[in-house]
Protein backbone atom coordinates (compact mmCIF):
# COMPACT_ATOMS: atom_id res chain seq x y z
CA UNK A 1 0.00 0.00 0.00
CA UNK A 2 1.10 3.57 -0.68
CA UNK A 3 1.73 6.22 1.98
CA UNK A 4 -1.54 7.86 0.94
CA UNK A 5 -3.48 4.59 1.27
CA UNK A 6 -1.96 3.94 4.70
CA UNK A 7 -2.88 7.40 5.99
CA UNK A 8 -6.45 7.22 4.71
CA UNK A 9 -6.88 3.76 6.22
CA UNK A 10 -5.56 4.85 9.64
CA UNK A 11 -7.65 8.03 9.68
CA UNK A 12 -10.74 6.06 8.79
CA UNK A 13 -9.95 3.65 11.61
CA UNK A 14 -9.40 6.29 14.31
CA UNK A 15 -12.00 8.81 13.10
CA UNK A 16 -12.30 11.78 15.44
CA UNK A 17 -11.11 9.71 18.38
CA UNK A 18 -7.44 10.67 18.08
CA UNK A 19 -5.01 12.90 16.20
CA UNK A 20 -2.38 11.20 14.08
CA UNK A 21 1.28 12.19 14.37
CA UNK A 22 3.29 10.84 11.44
CA UNK A 23 6.70 9.85 12.80
CA UNK A 24 9.05 10.99 10.04
CA UNK A 25 12.49 10.40 11.56
CA UNK A 26 14.99 9.23 8.90
CA UNK A 27 12.31 9.70 6.23
CA UNK A 28 13.04 11.70 3.08
CA UNK A 29 11.38 15.01 2.24
CA UNK A 30 9.71 13.19 -0.67
CA UNK A 31 8.09 10.68 1.68
CA UNK A 32 6.97 13.49 4.00
CA UNK A 33 5.59 15.45 1.05
CA UNK A 34 3.66 12.35 -0.06
CA UNK A 35 2.09 12.17 3.41
CA UNK A 36 1.47 15.93 3.44
CA UNK A 37 -0.26 15.79 0.06
CA UNK A 38 -2.48 13.05 1.48
CA UNK A 39 -3.79 15.47 4.09
CA UNK A 40 -1.32 14.74 6.92
CA UNK A 41 -0.17 17.97 8.60
CA UNK A 42 1.36 16.76 11.89
CA UNK A 43 4.84 15.22 11.85
CA UNK A 44 6.97 14.02 14.76
CA UNK A 45 10.75 13.90 14.90
CA UNK A 46 13.23 12.47 17.41
CA UNK A 47 16.33 14.48 16.57
CA UNK A 48 16.70 18.25 16.67
CA UNK A 49 19.13 18.44 13.75
CA UNK A 50 16.75 16.50 11.53
CA UNK A 51 13.67 18.53 12.45
CA UNK A 52 15.50 21.83 11.84
CA UNK A 53 16.69 20.73 8.39
CA UNK A 54 13.27 19.44 7.36
CA UNK A 55 11.39 22.46 8.66
CA UNK A 56 13.37 24.69 6.29
CA UNK A 57 12.56 22.53 3.26
CA UNK A 58 8.93 21.57 3.79
CA UNK A 59 5.60 23.47 3.78
CA UNK A 60 5.13 26.20 6.38
CA UNK A 61 1.80 24.91 7.65
CA UNK A 62 3.24 21.61 8.92
CA UNK A 63 2.90 21.18 12.69
CA UNK A 64 6.26 19.88 13.92
CA UNK A 65 6.27 17.82 17.12
CA UNK A 66 9.39 16.93 19.07
CA UNK A 67 8.70 13.40 20.27
CA UNK A 68 12.18 12.22 21.26
CA UNK A 69 14.32 12.89 24.32
CA UNK A 70 15.26 16.58 24.19
CA UNK A 71 18.62 17.82 25.41
CA UNK A 72 18.34 21.24 27.01
CA UNK A 73 21.22 22.68 24.94
CA UNK A 74 19.22 21.93 21.75
CA UNK A 75 16.02 23.78 22.72
CA UNK A 76 17.17 27.05 21.17
CA UNK A 77 17.20 25.52 17.67
CA UNK A 78 13.49 24.60 17.67
CA UNK A 79 11.90 27.17 19.99
CA UNK A 80 10.78 29.53 17.21
CA UNK A 81 8.65 27.01 15.31
CA UNK A 82 7.94 23.84 17.30
CA UNK A 83 4.20 23.16 17.75
CA UNK A 84 4.37 20.62 20.57
CA UNK A 85 7.10 19.09 22.71
CA UNK A 86 6.06 15.60 23.89
CA UNK A 87 9.07 14.94 26.09
CA UNK A 88 9.19 17.45 28.96
CA UNK A 89 10.40 15.40 31.91
CA UNK A 90 12.67 17.56 34.07
CA UNK A 91 12.82 21.08 35.53
CA UNK A 92 16.16 21.93 33.90
CA UNK A 93 14.56 21.34 30.49
CA UNK A 94 11.47 23.35 31.42
CA UNK A 95 13.68 26.32 32.31
CA UNK A 96 15.35 26.22 28.90
CA UNK A 97 12.06 25.88 27.03
CA UNK A 98 10.63 28.81 28.96
CA UNK A 99 13.74 30.93 28.36
CA UNK A 100 13.87 30.40 24.61
CA UNK A 101 10.10 30.60 24.16
CA UNK A 102 10.27 34.03 25.79
CA UNK A 103 13.06 35.06 23.39
CA UNK A 104 10.84 33.94 20.49
CA UNK A 105 7.93 35.87 22.02
CA UNK A 106 5.66 32.84 22.20
CA UNK A 107 4.29 30.14 24.47
CA UNK A 108 5.28 26.57 23.69
CA UNK A 109 2.80 23.74 24.21
CA UNK A 110 4.33 20.80 26.09
CA UNK A 111 3.36 17.34 27.27
CA UNK A 112 4.82 15.89 30.44
CA UNK A 113 6.48 12.59 29.55
CA UNK A 114 5.86 9.99 32.25
CA UNK A 115 7.86 6.81 32.72
CA UNK A 116 5.16 4.14 32.60
CA UNK A 117 7.45 1.30 31.51
CA UNK A 118 9.80 -0.68 33.74
CA UNK A 119 12.50 -0.59 31.03
CA UNK A 120 15.65 1.23 32.11
CA UNK A 121 16.18 2.69 28.63
CA UNK A 122 12.90 4.62 28.66
CA UNK A 123 12.94 8.29 29.63
CA UNK A 124 10.25 10.10 31.58
CA UNK A 125 9.26 11.63 34.89
CA UNK A 126 8.56 9.30 37.80
CA UNK A 127 4.76 9.18 38.11
CA UNK A 128 5.03 9.85 41.85
CA UNK A 129 6.45 13.31 41.10
CA UNK A 130 3.78 14.33 38.59
CA UNK A 131 1.68 16.67 40.72
CA UNK A 132 4.64 18.56 42.16
CA UNK A 133 6.27 18.83 38.75
CA UNK A 134 3.06 20.09 37.18
CA UNK A 135 2.56 22.69 39.93
CA UNK A 136 6.08 24.01 39.46
CA UNK A 137 6.11 24.14 35.66
CA UNK A 138 2.67 25.72 35.29
CA UNK A 139 4.13 28.87 36.90
CA UNK A 140 6.41 29.35 33.87
CA UNK A 141 4.94 32.10 31.70
CA UNK A 142 6.05 30.75 28.33
CA UNK A 143 5.08 27.08 28.67
CA UNK A 144 1.57 25.69 28.17
CA UNK A 145 1.16 22.29 29.78
CA UNK A 146 -1.47 20.59 27.62
CA UNK A 147 -1.25 16.90 28.48
CA UNK A 148 0.74 13.75 29.16
CA UNK A 149 2.85 11.40 27.05
CA UNK A 150 3.93 7.85 27.74
CA UNK A 151 5.72 4.98 26.01
CA UNK A 152 4.79 1.42 26.87
CA UNK A 153 7.25 -1.42 27.27
CA UNK A 154 8.62 -3.05 24.13
CA UNK A 155 7.10 -6.46 24.68
CA UNK A 156 4.68 -8.98 23.16
CA UNK A 157 2.80 -9.13 26.48
CA UNK A 158 -0.38 -7.26 25.59
CA UNK A 159 -1.64 -7.36 29.15
CA UNK A 160 1.48 -5.53 30.38
CA UNK A 161 1.12 -2.86 27.67
CA UNK A 162 -2.59 -2.50 28.44
CA UNK A 163 -1.85 -2.01 32.15
CA UNK A 164 0.78 0.65 31.42
CA UNK A 165 -1.56 2.61 29.16
CA UNK A 166 -4.33 2.24 31.72
CA UNK A 167 -2.04 3.62 34.43
CA UNK A 168 -1.30 6.83 32.50
CA UNK A 169 -4.98 7.19 31.51
CA UNK A 170 -5.97 7.13 35.18
CA UNK A 171 -3.37 9.78 35.99
CA UNK A 172 -4.52 11.90 33.04
CA UNK A 173 -8.17 11.71 34.14
CA UNK A 174 -7.22 12.61 37.71
CA UNK A 175 -5.12 15.60 36.60
CA UNK A 176 -7.83 16.81 34.20
CA UNK A 177 -10.32 17.16 37.03
CA UNK A 178 -8.20 19.96 38.48
CA UNK A 179 -6.60 21.28 35.28
CA UNK A 180 -8.99 21.91 32.41
CA UNK A 181 -6.15 22.93 30.06
CA UNK A 182 -5.00 19.29 29.84
CA UNK A 183 -6.37 18.02 26.53
CA UNK A 184 -3.83 15.57 25.10
CA UNK A 185 -2.97 12.01 26.05
CA UNK A 186 -0.20 10.95 23.68
CA UNK A 187 0.23 7.19 23.85
CA UNK A 188 0.51 4.49 21.23
CA UNK A 189 2.89 3.76 18.37
CA UNK A 190 2.70 1.51 15.31
CA UNK A 191 2.79 -1.77 17.28
CA UNK A 192 0.52 -0.85 20.19
CA UNK A 193 -1.73 2.05 19.17
CA UNK A 194 -4.90 -0.06 19.24
CA UNK A 195 -4.31 -0.84 22.92
CA UNK A 196 -3.58 2.85 23.54
CA UNK A 197 -6.86 3.88 21.92
CA UNK A 198 -8.72 1.43 24.17
CA UNK A 199 -7.15 3.30 27.08
CA UNK A 200 -8.19 6.80 26.10
CA UNK A 201 -5.31 7.94 23.89
CA UNK A 202 -6.26 10.93 21.73
CA UNK A 203 -2.91 11.30 19.98
CA UNK A 204 -1.02 8.40 18.41
CA UNK A 205 2.50 8.46 16.94
CA UNK A 206 2.85 6.17 13.93
CA UNK A 207 5.86 5.71 11.68
CA UNK A 208 6.21 2.32 10.01
CA UNK A 209 2.42 1.98 9.85
CA UNK A 210 2.44 4.98 7.48
CA UNK A 211 5.81 4.86 5.72
CA UNK A 212 6.60 1.14 5.86
CA UNK A 213 9.53 -0.49 7.62
CA UNK A 214 12.51 1.80 7.99
CA UNK A 215 15.70 1.30 5.94
CA UNK A 216 18.68 1.90 8.20
Look at residue 156 and tell me whether its pLDDT is greater than 90: yes
Round to whole Å and give the CA distance between 55 and 43: 10
Look at residue 172 and tell me whether its pLDDT is greater than 60: yes
Round to whole Å and give the CA distance between 41 and 59: 9
* CA nearest neighbour of 104 among 82, 128, 72, 71: 82
The confidence score (pLDDT) of residue 215 equals 59
Round to whole Å and give the CA distance between 166 and 100: 34
Name the band, by pLDDT with cuts 50, 70 and 90, for residue 214. low
Please state at what angle helix 29-36 crosses helix 3-14, rounded to 10 degrees.
50
The confidence score (pLDDT) of residue 120 equals 82
User: What pTM was computed for the model?
Assistant: 0.96
* CA nearest neighbour of 35 among 154, 216, 208: 208
Q: Could you state, in order of their start, the residue ranges of all structural domains in the chain?
A: 3-211
The mean pLDDT value of the chain amounts to 96
CATH architecture of the domain covering 3-211: Alpha-Beta Barrel (3.20)
8-state DSSP, 125: B
Amino acid sequence: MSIRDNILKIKEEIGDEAKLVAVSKTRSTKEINDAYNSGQKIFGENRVQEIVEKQKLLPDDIEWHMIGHLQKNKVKYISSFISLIHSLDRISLAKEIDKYAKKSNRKIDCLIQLKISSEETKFGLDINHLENFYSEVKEYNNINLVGLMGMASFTQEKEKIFDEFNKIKELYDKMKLKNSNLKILSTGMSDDYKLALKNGSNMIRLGSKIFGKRDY
